[in-house]
A and B are shown apart, each in its own frame.
Chain A
Amino acid sequence: MAVLVGGLMGTGLRLLADILIPHGNTDFPFSTLMVNVLGAFLLGLLVARFWSAAEPWMKAGLGTGLLGSFTTFSAVMVSVISLSANSRWLLAVAYLVLSLVLGFAAAAIGLRVGRVSTAIDWVDE
């Protein structure tokens, strides 16, 4: 149930980003890039900061449901294929590389920030 509700909300937020920053089949998909980078950062932060103490339904709802559905891998693949099919090769490669580099960096920063803030709490106590 938590996954269903989280997935519904994550899909809604992603749809909202697509509506606010629309892109055609031959444009650079800024909305998807933004959603994926933001989602990777937030999931890293949650995992490192709250997961050890979180209830299983919270992990499923927020992690798997909300952030898992907010971000998308298929849209990246579809855009890369669509840009390539329209001979926009450079844009396709740039989009794929940017998605990976920024997504992984965001996840790493999220995990790091989560760990550091947890450590600070320990010192305070």
Chain B
Amino acid sequence: MSTVLVVVTLAVGGVAAVARYLVSLAMVRVSTAESFPWAVLIVNVVGSALGGVVLGLAQNSGMSEEVQLIVLTGVCGGLTTFSTFSVETIQLLTHGRWRAASLSVGANLVVGLGACAAGYALFAG
């Protein structure tokens, strides 16, 4: 693994984190406080779909390992988050918002897995 590849992957991860931050800012404006965690759902689904596409392309056309690393580890990894997802879920539960918590977890899993599977199926050939 070359130094340039690592630097590019980290830089891309940083930019993807900024994109996630911008989504969270945009969602704060349209939703009321302590409501459904839309921002995490959006970034997680988009990142999972892209991850599925890369998985399919890698299997199909032999996408180079370098590009796979940059997109999977950098873009998808930086854009999506598991820590915020977990903490927000527990916070909803401690506020007695069982419905919102289960809807959020269910939506992340069903739509996230569905988007990843669809991306994979479309490009795996």
Contacts and interface: CB of A to CB of B under 8 A. Distances in A.
Given A15-B10, A72-B82, A77-B116, A7 B90 contact: no
Chain B residues touching A, majority SS: helix
A75 B10 contact: no
Interface string A1-39: 001111111111011001100000100000000001001
Chain A residues touching B, majority SS: helix
A19 B6 CA distance: 11
B79 to A, nearest CB: 7
Contact of A75 (B51, B86, B87, B105): B51
A4 B85 CA distance: 20
A95 interface: no
Interface residues of A, number: 52
Contact of A74 (B14, B21, B76, B89): B76
Nearest to A110: B87
A10 B86 contact: no
A115 B69 CA distance: 38
A78 B48 contact: yes
B13 A77 contact: no
A74 B79 contact: yes
B57 interface: no
A78 B83 contact: no
27 contacts: A3-B18, A3-B21, A4-B15, A6-B14, A7-B15, A11-B9, A11-B12, A11-B16, A60-B21, A69-B14, A69-B20, A71-B81, A71-B84, A73-B44, A73-B82, A73-B85, A77-B113, A77-B115, A78-B51, A78-B52, A78-B54, A78-B55, A81-B117, A104-B86, A104-B90, A111-B90, A111-B91
Given A80-B113, A111-B90, 5 more contacts: A7-B20, A14-B13, A44-B87, A67-B83, A111-B94
Interface of A: 3-12, 14-15, 18-19, 25, 36, 39-40, 42-44, 47, 60, 63-65, 67-78, 80-82, 85, 96, 99-100, 103-104, 106-108, 110-111
